[in-house]
Amino acid sequence: MIKRGRILKKIYTPCVNFTCALNHYKESHIDEVPQAFGKIIENVVYNVLIQKYKSNDINEALSFWRNGEKEIDFLINQKEKQLPIEVKFSNNINLKDLMPIIDYMKKKKINFGIIVTKDEFDKKEINGQVLYYIPYYLILLMI
């Protein structure tokens, strides 16, 4: 679980197989219901980040940001720097989907952010902000 402040919380399961079984997800659903698999990938990324930062104070090293309907899935906090990570597991990622991370990066003067994707691998500059698009299967090797 990630906590941010006293009220905001996000809950993840330690094993995504349980989530898949409860929702009767099958491999064939990956293209039919990409949003559901996005949540599963987000959960997997969380589990990997927890393992990476478990020796640190996890509440300080890993958080998220939410303002109304806008949200950034993960913020990695190291010393005075932040790395925003957003999971977008869909076939088409549009500018509207990226505005929360872009606006946050501008406000906090963050050099770059990461978009975890289904299969896109790219570096893009959008509204003056650098975003690295990295497929989920590669990001899990890199973290």
Taking only the tens place, the pLDDT of each residue in 34-43 is 677 888 888 8
Residue 113: Cβ within 10 Å count: 22
For residue 120, give the nearest of 96, 86, 83, 143 by alpha carbon.
Answer: 86
Position 132 scores a pLDDT of: 97
What's the token pair of residue 43? 């959960």
**pTM to 2 decimals?**
0.83
- Residue 81 phi/psi, 5-degree rounding, is -110, 155
- Between 2-11, 48-57, 115-124, the lowest mean confidence (pLDDT) is in 2-11
Please provide the average confidence, as pLDDT, over all residues in the chain. Answer: 84
pLDDT band at 6 (very low <50, low <70, confident <90, very high): very low
**CATH number of the domain encompassing residue 26:** 3.40.1350
Distances (CA, A) of 15 to 20, 31, 44, 73: 9, 22, 8, 18
Position 5 scores a pLDDT of: 46
Residue with more model confidence, 60 or 108:
108
Domain count, the chain: 1
Q: What is the DSSP letter of 109?
A: T
- Between 50-59, 60-69, 118-127, the lowest mean confidence (pLDDT) is in 50-59
The rounded distance, in Å, linking the Cα atoms of 63 and 107 is 17
Residue 120: Cβ within 10 Å count: 16
Taking only the tens place, the pLDDT of each residue in 18-35 is 777 777 877 777 777 767
68: left (phi over 0), alpha (psi -120 to 50) or beta: left
Q: Which domain holds residue 26?
A: 2-142
